[in-house]
Amino acid sequence: MKKTISIFIAVLVVLSIFVIPASADEELFSNEVKEYYKNLGLQGTTLNIYNWGEYIDDEEIDVITQFEKLTGCDVNYTTFESNENMYSKLSGGGVSYDIIIPSDYMVERLISEEMLLKLDYNNIPNFNKYFDSENSGHLIENGIGDYAVIYNVGSTILIYNKNLVKEEPTSWKVLWDEQYKGKILMFNNPRDAFAVAQFALGQDINTTNMADWDKAADYLLEQRQKVRPEYVMDEVFIKMESGEYAFATYYAGDYELMVENNPDLGFAFPQEGVNTFYDAMCVPKGSQNKKGAEAFINFMMEPEIALANAEYIYYATANKAVLENEDYSLIDSEAVYPDELKNTQSFHNLPVDTLQYMNSLWMKVKGENDAQGLYIGFFSVIAVVVVIIIAHILKKKKMAKFYNV
């Protein structure tokens, strides 16, 4: 009897795994919303999405799973670490994506190189309902809005460890302070890394003056020699939360994620200024499922989905329904929604010759460190080999003496 009851309970538990999510869906969306997505005819299709890491809710309601359930569309979801990584993958060919989420300057570049498809807003009715045009409308002027729907907005920020840094930093130049050698994490992408140096030097982050880029590169090389920073992207979370590093350059929303796991972290907006940006949902040329892509963009603007993403990602939202929702917990965050930022600049697409020059300088900045690392590694191996050989010789001599050879 006990065995029968145990089996019965086990069956109920297994069934509950399948039943509970279905009932959760019933509560999450209205019948009207469910019918809308069901009638799109996406059953049996596939949608390929390319997004930043940790940039969509996959815990509270699992956005991708909800979209698949509502539409019957299968989603392949992969991630990238930087706009440059995404661009290389996209421009290299051999891959087909239906949705990508680049940042402002990369959106401009992709448009200029005719790598995006124009959006059909008839398939994105939630845009007119929920887009915060009052605060974010200016970001999609000059034709940007024909190709892109803003996902989130944000800024760069300087994150510091209060246990290692006793005073709140006010300048990017603290990242060149030798007392923090080996304790600094820098952006591992050229636009953001150069921008830190450019802000510190008082430059325009969209300069086309090659001499300015030379000065910024020299300043980054000086930083290499003085403090030996580590260049990271997604690894910044684990490293900064560990408490072993003094500073990290990253994005404002991510600070809120880090401080949850390490309350000893603080943040600052350096006086020289910060980069403000947006990330946007776009459909690249070569998409095999544009209808599904536009349905997904519309789905991402559903109030329930937009709220879940905003709470998970911790970036400022461009969705009116979220901003007006009393349950939205981040509206009072000084990092995500600062009262006023001074001396802000935003990236724009650079001319091809400037981009090429920047990339060559970036290779020089990174290459010197890589070369130093190779030299250190090479000589370390040589040293180990020498020690082993010496030890082997001494051992042979000792054995020879022992046996009187």
Enumerate the H helices of 100-229 as residue ranges. Answer: 104-112, 126-130, 133-136, 190-201, 210-227
pLDDT value at 2 more than 60: no
Residues 129 and 198 in one domain: no
pLDDT value at 276 more than 80: yes
Residues 226 and 365 in one domain: yes
Q: Quick check: is 76 in a domain?
A: yes
pLDDT value at 10 more than 70: no
Residues 171 and 272 in one domain: yes
Q: Quick check: is 401 in a domain?
A: no
Neighbours of 92 (CB within 10 A): 8
Q: Quick check: is 44 in a domain?
A: yes
Give the pLDDT score at 396.
40
Mean pLDDT of the chain: 87
d(CA 337, CA 265): 18
Total domains, the chain:
2
d(CA 78, CA 25): 24
pLDDT value at 322 more than 50: yes
Residues 286-300: what's their mean pLDDT? Answer: 98
CA angle 304/59/32 to nearest 5° reads: 25
Identify the three-state secondary structure at position 368. Answer: helix
Name the β-bridge partners of 8: none
- DSSP at 119: P
Q: Quick check: is 283 in a domain?
A: yes
The answer for residues whose C-beta is within 8 angstroms of residue 112's C-beta and 6 or more apart is 349
Residues 234 and 356 in one domain: yes
pLDDT value at 403 more than 60: no
Residues 250 and 302 in one domain: no
C-alpha dihedral sign at 229, 231, 237, 239:
negative
**Which band of pLDDT confidence, cut at 50, 70 and 90, is reported for residue 25?**
low
Q: Give the least confident one: 12-16, 162-166, 175-179, 347-351.
A: 12-16
Residues 148 and 247 in one domain: no
pTM, entire model = 0.81
What is the percent of the chain where pLDDT is above 70?
84
Residues 230-253: what's their mean pLDDT? Answer: 97
pLDDT in tens, 112-125: 999 999 999 999 99
Residues 294 and 359 in one domain: no
Q: Quick check: is 330 in a domain?
A: no
Q: Quick check: is 289 in a domain?
A: yes
pLDDT value at 142 more than 90: no
Residues 50 and 181 in one domain: no
d(CA 213, CA 206): 10
Residue 68 belongs to domain spanning: 2-153+279-323
| Of 224 and 404, the one with more pLDDT | 224
Residues 311 and 260 in one domain: no
Residues 62-91: what's their mean pLDDT? Answer: 96
Residues 217-234: what's their mean pLDDT? Answer: 97
Q: Quick check: is 343 in a domain?
A: no
- Token pair listed for 168: 């709140």
pLDDT in tens, 31-68: 999 999 999 999 999 999 999 998 999 999 999 999 99
Residues 20 and 104 in one domain: yes
| Of 372 and 210, the one with more pLDDT | 210
Looking at residue 249, which CATH number applies to its domain? 3.40.190.10
Residues 227, 182: contact at Cβ < 8 Å?
yes
- The CA distances from residue 135 to 140, 290, 291, 304, 312, in Å, are 11, 28, 28, 21, 22
Residues 152, 277: contact at Cβ < 8 Å?
no
Residues 141 and 203 in one domain: no
| Of 31 and 381, the one with more pLDDT | 31
Residues 12 and 135 in one domain: yes
Residues 181-202: what's their mean pLDDT? Answer: 98
Instruction: Sort 285 into a burial class: Cβ within 10 Å, 0-12 / 13-18 / 19+.
Output: middle
**Which band of pLDDT confidence, cut at 50, 70 and 90, is reported for residue 131?**
very high
Q: Quick check: is 107 in a domain?
A: yes
